């Protein structure tokens, strides 16, 4: 069985005590850490664990199918 590669979009939010990371396509994959680099690493680990858990449970793994664009807004 061959592995399939999928791309996920990470969203990071600065918090008072560090950063929160979450996958846009799979919101259940979420983590927090003191630094952005630690948050990135933790999010990768969380993704790997969720993939494994979903496989074991026979659940469908969410794939990246969203379309993203920047919306410009004037704020007075």
With residues binned 3-state (H G I as helix, E B as strand, rest as coil), the percentages for the chain, rounded to 5, are 30, 20, 50
User: What phi, psi does 29 have (nearest 5°)?
Assistant: -90, 105
Share of residues in the chain with pLDDT > 70 (%): 92
Q: Average of pLDDT values for 27-53? A: 97
Threshold 0.85, pTM exceeds: no
pLDDT of residue 5: 80
CB atoms inside a 10 Å sphere around CB 44: 15
**CATH tag, 1-76:** 3.30.160.250
- DSSP E strands in the chain: the ranges are 10-15, 18-23, 30-33
Say which DSSP state 60 is in: P
User: Quick one: pLDDT band at residue 34, thresholds 50, 70, 90?
Assistant: very high
Maximum CA extent, the chain: 56
pLDDT of residue 66: 66
User: Quick one: pLDDT band at residue 70, thresholds 50, 70, 90?
Assistant: confident
């Amino acid at each position: 069985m061959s592995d399939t590669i999928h791309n996920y979009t990470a969203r990071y939010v600065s918090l008072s005590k560090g950063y929160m990371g979450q996958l846009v396509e799979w919101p259940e994959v979420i983590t927090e850490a003191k630094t952005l680099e630690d948050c990135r690493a933790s999010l990768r680990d969380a993704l790997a664990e969720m993939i494994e858990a979903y496989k074991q449970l026979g659940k469908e793994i969410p794939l990246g199918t969203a379309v993203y664009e920047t919306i410009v807004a004037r704020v007075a």
